[in-house]
């Protein structure tokens, strides 16, 4: 009888705390792999919507390779056309056609204005920038508690809600080191892009710091592709559009 | 309540939308991202400017000695900048044309210039070859640069303005590596200087060779560059840029000009020459605070610049020439001074030591797309300065509005004290366009 009670308590204990069974780091790597192939290209439309309904739209073409290389170029509007950004690890450069040379910028700086910052647009894999400290499981969802690996990362802490079958995020809350909620990202409309890539095609962002404002990022033509390392260099920044 | 919502949705149809869901048409987005082999775009600019003139200043006297005196000057500037490109296979043709028009009580002029026009071949991301008129932008300095050996100087008051290039041939060869050395790029450049080809670059009938070697080494951008030939004295230089933390970047430049020839005048207008090895350098930083304030700060020493004494002699010579017109009617001295001012004495930041500080506040009080900034250029040799606050608004797609004032302060015989203006107020309205998209919309 005593054995039965102890066994029952153990089973209940394991069920009550599934985080013991889940390796958060591996789970995060799987989520990253599901969001992005190893080397790929994509188009994104960014829409900033203001409380009065006025909107500002941007279209970007991006390429990413490996864990730490991503480059993007704005295709529209005309005022931003040709403006490109390159990230290699913690190094971020901005190229403005009129200025004519890449300048180093910080990950927190905003390229477009609005509630997106560089870190949102030039994001590397989550497992590159964050450690998973804890995983909770509840009603078809995992909740991952992520902590930035260094102070160079835009958000100190992240809470990530993940669909436990698709292993794709449904919501992310980004916090400052002071504990203030900076923004919430809602992942929507999971779509098959071809080549086995199935991921949310819309990310809607709102921020308690900018009440009534909303940003939407729509993904299109996400495609795995082979890219040379030389694409991710300062010399190639003005020529990024030629990859399209 | 329902009536109010209905009323709001009729008056402001997007209001309701913004508070709830946003819908979009994916097929429209796919049309927008469709690539065309050609592009035509650019901007149209209108820039009315009001100057408060300083009739005691040397540069006022040079410009107004044969005109009636005035205390203010209104100027209307128009600019049309057109970028056009055509891409086929590994080749691309790019053209940047600039048309400037100015209208004021003392000037009425239209000038069209081809800033750039070149053919580019890109057989791979590692190798490109360009031939034509090209604007290079070497150097890490924000306000100024001393290592831009084959390019025109920047305007520290507005360093982001597009500039005219030179006719040249260049290649870029890039190689990436794993390890502390991540990237290296070799850029050799040929600059021909002959009659009607780059004849404002330096002495004509010479083929000059310039080059740059870039490294991304331990997360630091490092460049080495040189220029040799007979159009200008040979020179070499280096620059670097590095992020110390995620919100702090530092950069620097050094250049060495072998046997630089400086020409200067005494207060009688007698011309002298001096040959020496000129060393110039620049150190700077870019710092972003948690409150989204960016500080760009630079100190630069221009080794080819004039000393304060040499500038004072020039100002005294201008005064002498100006006074001679009233005493004898002879304008030969002032005309000689004017021609000197069109050369080295009239260049931007002509003396030696400067401190530059630009402070930019992104979207204060949560006003999106509104960016105030203030720029201070301080001449450390004569303690004169220009202080320019500005307000930039980019909230309307493709429209950029900038209001900028400049306070130009200094005693007599100082750089900013002898400028033509005491104050300047400028409003810049710039509209960017993509002609291909406009044509597409019309066709639809």
Report ipTM for this prediction.
0.82
For A16, residues 6+ apart whose C-beta sits below 8 A from its C-beta are: none
Q: Does residue A57 carry a pLDDT above 80?
A: yes
Percent of chain A residues topping a pLDDT of 70: 85
Chain B residue numbers touching A105 (CB-CB < 8 A): 249, 286
- Contact status, residue B281 vs residue B239, Cβ threshold 8 Å: no
Residue A15 lies in a domain: no
Residue A162 lies in a domain: yes
Residue A26 lies in a domain: yes
pLDDT for res B11: 39
Q: Does residue A232 carry a pLDDT above 60?
A: yes
CA distances from B82 to A98, B431, B438 (A): 12, 12, 15
Greatest mean pLDDT among A91-100, A151-160, B152-161, B419-428 lies in B419-428
Instruction: Say whether the peptide bond before residue A77 is cis (omega within 30 degrees of 0).
Output: yes
Chain B residue numbers touching A48 (CB-CB < 8 A): 368
pLDDT band per the 50, 70, 90 thresholds, residue A108: low
The whole-angstrom separation of Cα B247 and Cα B288 is: 5
**Which of A100, A153, A230 faces B135 most closely, judged by CB atoms?**
A100
Tell which residue, B405, B357, B411, B406, has the closest CA to residue B383: B411
Residue A1 lies in a domain: no
Residue A14 lies in a domain: no
Are B160 and A59 within 8 A, CB to CB?
no
Shortest Cα distance, chain A CAs vs residue B18, angstroms:
5
pLDDT band per the 50, 70, 90 thresholds, residue A169: very high
For A35, residues 6+ apart whose C-beta sits below 8 A from its C-beta are: A168, A169, A199
* A110: containing domain: 22-243
Please check whether residue A232 touches B, CB under 8 A. Answer: yes
Residue A237 lies in a domain: yes
| Residue of B15, B24, B30, B33 for testing the chain A interface, max A β-carbons within 10 Å | B33
CA distances from B355 to B67, B284, B379, B428 (A): 35, 10, 7, 26
pLDDT for res A114: 58
Q: Tell me the per-residue pLDDT of A201-221, one tens digit each, with 9 for 90 and over.
A: 999 988 888 788 888 899 988
- pTM given for the model: 0.86
pLDDT (tens place) for every residue of chain B, 444 residues total: 444 444 444 434 343 344 455 667 777 788 888 888 999 999 999 999 999 999 999 999 998 888 888 999 999 999 999 999 999 999 999 999 999 999 999 999 999 999 999 999 999 999 999 999 999 999 999 999 999 999 999 999 888 899 999 999 999 999 999 889 999 999 999 999 999 999 999 999 999 999 999 999 999 999 999 999 999 999 999 999 998 887 889 999 999 999 999 999 898 888 899 999 999 999 999 998 888 899 999 999 999 999 999 999 999 999 999 888 888 888 888 888 888 888 888 888 899 999 999 999 988 887 878 999 999 999 999 999 999 999 999 988 899 999 999 999 999 999 999 999 999 999 999 999 999 888 887 877
Question: What is the signed CA dihedral for B276, B167, A240, A60, rounded to 10 degrees?
Answer: 100
Please state, rounded to an integer, the average pLDDT across all residues of chain A: 83
The CATH number of residue A177's host domain is 2.50.20.10
Q: Does residue A4 carry a pLDDT above 60?
A: no
Average pLDDT over residues A6-11: 47
Number of domains chain A contains: 1
Tell which residue, B157, B161, B150, B239, has the closest CA to residue B200: B150
**Which of A 73-112 lie inside 8 A of B, CB atoms?**
75-79, 81, 88-92, 96-101, 103-110
Which residue of chain B comes nearest to A114, CA vs CA? B368
Residue A207 lies in a domain: yes
- Tokens representing B188 are 């050799």
Q: Does residue A121 carry a pLDDT above 90?
A: no
Q: Tell me the per-residue pLDDT of A19-36, one tens digit each, with 9 for 90 and over.
A: 446 788 889 999 988 888
- Longest pairwise C-alpha distance within chain A: 81
């Amino acid at each position: 009888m005593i054995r039965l009670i102890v066994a029952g308590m153990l089973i209940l204990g394991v069920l009550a705390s599934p985080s013991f069974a889940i390796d958060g780091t591996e789970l995060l790597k799987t989520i990253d792999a599901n969001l992005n192939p190893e080397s790929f290209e994509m188009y994104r439309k960014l829409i900033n919507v203001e409380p009065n309904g006025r909107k500002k739209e941007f279209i970007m073409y991006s390429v990413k390779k490996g864990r730490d290389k991503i480059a993007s170029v704005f295709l529209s509007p005309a005022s931003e056309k040709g403006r490109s950004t390159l990230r290699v690890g913690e190094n971020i450069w901005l190229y403005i056609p009129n200025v004519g040379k890449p300048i180093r910028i910080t990950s927190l700086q905003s390229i477009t204005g609005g509630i997106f910052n560089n870190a949102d647009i030039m994001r590397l894999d989550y497992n590159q920038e964050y450690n998973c400290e804890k995983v909770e499981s509840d009603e078809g969802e995992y909740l991952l508690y992520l902590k930035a690996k260094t102070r160079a990362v835009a958000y100190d802490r992240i809470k990530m809600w993940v669909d436990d079958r698709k292993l794709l995020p449904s919501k992310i809350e980004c916090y400052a080191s002071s504990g203030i909620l900076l923004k919430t990202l809602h992942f929507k409309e999971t779509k098959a892009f071809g080549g086995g890539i199935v991921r949310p095609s819309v990310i809607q962002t709102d921020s308690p710091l900018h009440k009534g404002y909303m940003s939407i990022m729509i993904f299109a033509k996400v495609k795995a592709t082979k890219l040379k390392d030389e694409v991710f260099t300062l010399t190639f920044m003005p020529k990024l559009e030629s990859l399209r | 309540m329902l009536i109010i919502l209905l009323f709001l949705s009729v008056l402001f149809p997007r209001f309701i939308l913004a508070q709830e869901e946003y819908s979009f048409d994916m097929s429209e987005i796919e049309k927008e991202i469709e690539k065309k082999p050609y592009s035509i775009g650019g901007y149209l600019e209108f820039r009315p400017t009001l100057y408060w003139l300083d009739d005691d200043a040397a540069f006022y006297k040079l410009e107004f000695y044969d005109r009636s005196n005035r205390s203010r000057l209104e100027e209307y500037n128009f600019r049309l900048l057109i970028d056009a490109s055509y891409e086929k296979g590994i080749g691309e043709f790019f053209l940047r044309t600039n048309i400037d028009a100015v209208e004021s009580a003392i000037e009425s002029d239209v000038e069209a210039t081809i800033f750039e026009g070149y053919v580019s071949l890109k057989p791979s991301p590692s190798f490109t070859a360009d031939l034509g008129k090209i604007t290079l932008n070497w150097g890490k300095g924000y306000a100024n640069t001393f290592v831009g050996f084959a390019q025109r100087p920047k305007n520290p008051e507005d360093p982001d303005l597009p500039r005219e290039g030179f006719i040249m041939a260049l290649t870029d060869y890039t190689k990436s590596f794993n390890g502390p050395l991540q990237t290296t790029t070799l850029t050799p450049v040929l600059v021909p200087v002959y009659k009607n080809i780059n004849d404002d670059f330096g002495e004509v009938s010479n083929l000059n060779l310039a080059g740059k070697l870039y490294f991304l080494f331990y997360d630091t951008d490092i460049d080495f560059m040189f220029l040799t030939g007979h159009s200008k004295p040979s020179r070499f230089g280096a620059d670097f840029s590095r992020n110390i933390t995620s919100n702090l970047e530092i950069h620097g430049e050094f250049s060495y000009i072998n046997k630089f020839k400086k020409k200067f005048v005494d207060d009688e207008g007698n011309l002298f020459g001096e040959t020496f090895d000129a060393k110039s350098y620049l150190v700077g930083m870019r710092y972003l605070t948690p409150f989204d304030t960016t500080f760009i700060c630079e100190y630069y020493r221009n080794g080819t610049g004039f000393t304060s004494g040499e500038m004072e002699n020039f100002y005294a010579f201008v005064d002498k020439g100006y006074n001679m017109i009233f005493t004898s009617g002879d304008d030969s001295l002032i005309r000689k001074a004017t021609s000197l001012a069109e050369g080295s004495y009239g260049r931007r930041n002509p003396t030696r030591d400067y401190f530059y500080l630009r402070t930019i506040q992104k979207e204060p009080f949560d006003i999106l797309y509104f960016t105030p900034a203030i720029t201070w250029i301080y001449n450390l040799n004569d303690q004169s300065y220009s202080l320019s606050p500005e307000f930039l608004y980019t909230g309307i797609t493709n429209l950029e509005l900038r209001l900028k004032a400049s306070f130009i302060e200094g005693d007599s015989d100082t750089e900013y004290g002898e400028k033509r203006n005491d104050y300047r107020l400028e409003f810049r309205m710039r509209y960017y366009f993509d002609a291909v998209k406009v044509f597409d919309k019309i066709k639809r």
